[in-house]
Amino acid sequence: MESLKLPTKFNLQETNLTEPWKKFKRNFEIYCTALGEELTQGGKCELLLHALGDECIDIHSTFDFTPNEHNKFEILIKKFDEYFLPKRNITFERYKFFSRNQELRETIENDIRELKILSSTCEFETLKESLIRDRIVGGINSEQIRSKLLQEEKLTLKKCIEICKMIEMTKSQMQQMNSGTENNHINEITSKKKMTSGASGKSQPRSAQKQEKSQREINNCTCCGRNHKINECPAFEKECRKCGKLKHFANMCKQKEDSKKEDPKNHRKKSVKEISARNSASKNQESASDSDNSEFTIASVGNEKKTAKDQEDWTAKIQVLENPNVTIKFKLDTGAQVNLIPKRLFDKIPDKDSFLKQSKIKLLNYSGNSITNLGKCTFR
């Protein structure tokens, strides 16, 4: 027993001496038991004071003993307990116990040990084991284990601990087995990235597939100004009324931007004085083009907020059907596929009903809702 050392680690400089004293007292009792020698009561008291040190000997001198209490080891321990252990607040001790939950990565073993330590100062008496069991079930961080515990009809503390440890051990073993499988096939996993076949026949990652999917629809097409599916542009192989080129509408023509750069001296306005009814051949041609139930989107109706100069550009007052009493201000060469005229202006035209024809064209506003039209009428 020469290698057995007397416990002497007790620091009175600690802020809270409760736990250090408990640990020292436990270690001292272990030492006395391991010593294996029959120590008298007085001998154990002297050995305790020697292990505690000079400062505790000074504290011992302040204790009051009756004649029958001298050299009694249990009495000496009780005196030091009263000195180092403050009076406990049972309500607060129980609050700490019932507030205790298992930490995220804490083992079941450690959680149970902490609950038992907390319960030792709560004075639960005969309810101690059942309350520890309930706290384990309520505070465990695994829904799987909690579900298993609640399925037990007569769950004791011993059975509760066995189930928790068994499930935790099984989970650890499964993780080790899965980890070994992943390590054996890590090269295969890293090389076989998830790929899909693209339109070109080459393999493409999923990110490229998502990007390709998002490009199947075109918003604000630069050729027609509408939203449509890819390769379904309504302006394809259509002739622009402004520049005469193919594959775009007049409202999306870049010619109007270039025309602003022309020299004003070389630009001459053409004056239009009158319009007359179109011949029957033109009417038949238009009727033929109108029979396909085409749809047109009306993006703008009415006057835009522009300067006075902009409002006068490309406009002219025109005598309709050579009637000097009917003069209407028209926007010339709007570049649009469909031009609208308000009913209040149309009503000014004499014999207007003879020019109004039924139209199968569907007009839609910018939100996709249908616009009712009275018909079509063509002048020149």
Q: Where are the domains of the chain?
A: 18-84, 90-181, 218-258, 271-300+312-380
Query: How confident is the model at residue 231, as a pLDDT?
Result: 79
In the chain, % of residues over pLDDT 70? 69
The whole-number average pLDDT for the span 276-281 is 41
DSSP H helices, 36-127, are 41-52, 54-60, 73-84, 90-98, 108-119
47: Cβ contacts below 8 Å, ≥ 6 apart: 6, 32, 39
Answer whether residue 177 shows pLDDT above 80: yes
- Residues ≥6 apart with Cβ < 8 Å to 271: 316
Confidence of residue 296 (pLDDT cuts 50, 70, 90): low
SS3 262: coil
| Mean pLDDT score of the chain | 75
Percent of the residues in the chain that have a pLDDT greater than 90, as a whole number: 14
The Cα–Cα gap between 335 and 362 comes to 19
* Among 19-33, 231-245, 334-348, the least confident range: 334-348
More confident residue, 205 or 92: 92
Q: Which of 89-98, 234-243, 355-364 is predicted most confidently?
A: 89-98
The pTM of the full predicted model, rounded to 2 decimals, is 0.36
Give pLDDT, residue 350.
73
pLDDT tens-place string over residues 115-161: 998 998 898 989 999 999 999 999 999 898 999 999 998 999 999 99
Distance between CA atoms of residues 11 and 20, nearest Å:
8
> What length does the chain have?
380
Domain 90-181 top-level CATH class: mainly alpha
- 58-85 average pLDDT score: 87
Q: Please answer whether residues 54 and 44 qualify as being in contact, where contact means their C-beta atoms are separated by less than 8 angstroms.
A: no
**What pLDDT, on a 0 to 100 scale, did the predictor assign at position 345?**
76
Q: Give residue 260's pLDDT.
A: 44
- What pLDDT is recorded for position 275? 42
Q: Tell me what pLDDT residue 307 has.
A: 52
In this model, does residue 10 exceed pLDDT 50?
A: yes
